[in-house]
Chain A
Amino acid sequence: MFYSPVITNAAEAVSNDRLHLFRYVEDPDQHKIQTYEAHGGYAAWKKVLNGMNPEAVREEVKKSGLRGRGGAGFPTGLKWGFIPKGSPKPRYLICNADESEPGTCKDRVIMERDPHAVIEGMAIAAYAIGCRLMFIYIRGEFNHCIERIKAAKEEAYAKGYLGKNIFGSGYDLDMVIHTGGGAYICGEETALLNSLEGKRGMSRIRPPFPAVEGLYACPTIVNNVETLSAVPHIINRGAEWYRSLGTEKSTGTKIFSLSGHVKRPGNYEVELGFSLRKLIYDPAYGSGIVGDKKLKGVIPGGSSTPMLTPDMIDVKLDYESLTEVGSMLGSGAVIVFHEETCIVWVVLRLIHFYRHESCGECTPCREGTGWMEQIIYRIEHGQGQPGDIEAIEDICGNILGRTVCPLGDAVVMLIQSAIKHWRDEWQYHIDHKKCLVKSDFEFK
């Protein structure tokens, strides 16, 4: 039926009018254009081309308060406005579907099950910035998503929703599907641009910013899949309606990928401002910890965000509240682990990932991640030396804010939070040459 058997709260979305991204994702035919249109699809695209000028589209999205759902949380409408007016160079829109942040698996659901929503969102965004050729950069491992998007693109072209003179409006729009080669760093904006240009996926220094000099040195906007799939709904139902969802500063809904030691891991669309505790424990969502064990820690927004302790999980899931407690909303991937997890083991897993994915351009990240992995490895394997924790903290201080792209910051924030909240456990490793809690997860 579906390629991926992931749990979603689509049933709730069907009955709850406020949830819109997941409304039809449990419909096995939603990826076909007839079904999509029957469910109200492409109405927004028609509305835009038949009467709204790009300025109006940008204003609407700006008023709605939609923020980037890929991790940065930058106001989308504002970003679209950064394109220099009157520049004679062609503009490009790129949909960032290179979902590689550990814990995140939400874009996949939309692309596999509701690909036309992505295409419609991309088309409207392209129109808003005056783009004639748009790209979607899908990670190379997502073969089923690629197939679905390919089929959807062909259907859209066949019906004249893409291509020349769409709806007789005189607007041309073409779409190119670009698949990645297996690099987390290519999810970062400037590295993605370099990868699309055929170069190695290494980051660029900013300035110049992509909105001024991006792909092929032309103005470019890069948006996440989830961000773009919300755009048709904003056009259809208006910015005011979108503002009524979520909180005042974090409007709208978000898909959270819940994974780790919960009974019901899955993708859940909820309004921003939702309680984290509820997401983890409520039977309609996470339904509590497996084995009913005690919670030890939560990573709230994908592995690049600082961790939270059990006494912090009453926080609301929105940009502001999480920043207040010292973390970030990020991509909305909530990773939960219970009391029988060794924190150093978790951090070792993640630092190995970051070292593997570092592009190697700037000195602090390239050398620092490797060094830290070696230190953390020996701490985990009972050979930690006194002074190791201080060394790690010092290295983190030398990487934070000193790199070309935010990958360095991601590594540091994660590790700093792990040491801050569980310093005793780290110290235990060093003093006693063994784990406080042995992580031994059985595969049944």
Chain B
Amino acid sequence: MILTQESIKQIQEKASQYPQRKSAILPALTIAYRQIGYLNSDVYKEISRVIKVPYVEIAEAASFYTLFPKQPVGKYLIQVCHNISCALLGADSLIEYLEQKLGIKRGETTPDNLFTLVTVECLGSCATAPMMQINQDYYENLTREKVDQILDELRAKV
């Protein structure tokens, strides 16, 4: 069993709020992702058993959404927006800076499994560009100093 009892309880609670069971697919995927860090077909099978929805529907929905990584990622998933407003304020350069600082290319994970760097589309933070999202938190109005500071803080927490 990959899902913890706590997760299963949360999923069942959430599922009870909807008039139809199938609506619980997306919340269930979110809860599972928060617990595990990524999703794969074993997780879909378990969710299928918990909310009693056919397995293929869960796999279909999960493959449609980009928020859930389908491979294991590092402890900190760094998602940098490279859409228009952020790009106009140097997002490309920010990404290069991060690649250089972490020693990896976009899409890769650092060897110590701490950071995974990916580029994403608009995160709804255009007036505070350039910015990035690390796990659940937004870091906005970035400068080189701030980026250094954030990375150091995150490393220190481990």
In the complex, A touching B (Cβ < 8 A)? yes
Interface size class of B (residues with CB under 8 A): 35 or more
Residues in A neighbouring B133, C-beta threshold 8 A: 141
Beta-carbon contact of A333 and B23 below 8 Å = no
| Cβ of A101 under 8 Å from chain B | yes
The answer to whether B123 touches A141 (Cβ under 8 A) is yes
Does any Cβ of B come within 8 Å of A237's Cβ? Answer: no
Chain A: number of interface residues, binned into ranges: 35 or more
Is residue B112 contacting chain A, with contact meaning CB distance below 8 A?
Answer: no
Q: Take A181-B30, A198-B23 as given contacts and tell me if A441 and B89 are in contact as well, using a CB distance cutoff of 8 Å.
A: yes
Q: Can you report 18 residue pairs joining A to B where beta carbons are below 8 Å apart?
A: A100-B124, A103-B85, A104-B122, A105-B127, A140-B30, A142-B124, A144-B137, A183-B66, A197-B22, A198-B61, A201-B64, A201-B65, A257-B127, A260-B85, A357-B121, A443-B89, A443-B94, A443-B143
- Which of A29-37, A114-122, A348-356 lines the interface with chain B? A348-356
**Given known contacts A182-B66, A183-B64, A199-B61, A443 and B129 CB-to-CB distance under 8 angstroms:** no
A249-268 CB mask vs B (1 if < 8 Å, else 0) is 00000000111110001110
Closest CB of chain B to A21's CB: distance in Å? 16
- Does B11 sit within 8 A of A, measured CB to CB? no
**B24: which of A174, A198, A257, A442 is its contact (CB, 8 Å)?**
A198
Residues of B within 8 A of A258 (CB): 127
B153 at the interface (CB under 8 A from A): no
Distance of B143 from chain A, by nearest CB (Å):
6
A411-443 contacts to B, CB under 8 A, are 441-443
Are A143 and B137 in contact, with the CB atoms below 8 A?
yes
Asked if B90 and A441 sit within 8 Å, CB to CB, the answer is yes
For B25, list chain A residues within 8 Å (CB): 198
A23 CB-CB contact with B under 8 Å:
no
Q: What 3 A-B pairs come out closest when comparing CB atoms?
A: A181-B65, A182-B67, A443-B93
Contact A176 B129 (CB under 8 A): no
B92 to A441, Cβ gap below 8 A?
yes
Q: Is A184 an interface residue (CB 8 A)?
A: yes
Question: Which residues of B sit under 8 angstroms from A375, Cβ to Cβ?
Answer: none
Contact B121 A260, beta carbon cutoff 8 Å: no
Of A2-10, A70-78, A391-399, the stretch lying at the interface with chain B is: A2-10
Contacts A141-B123, A144-B138, A265-B128 given; indicate if A195 touches B26 (C-beta within 8 A).
yes
From known contacts A140-B67, A182-B66, infer whether A335 and B126 are also in contact, taking CB-CB under 8 Å. Answer: yes
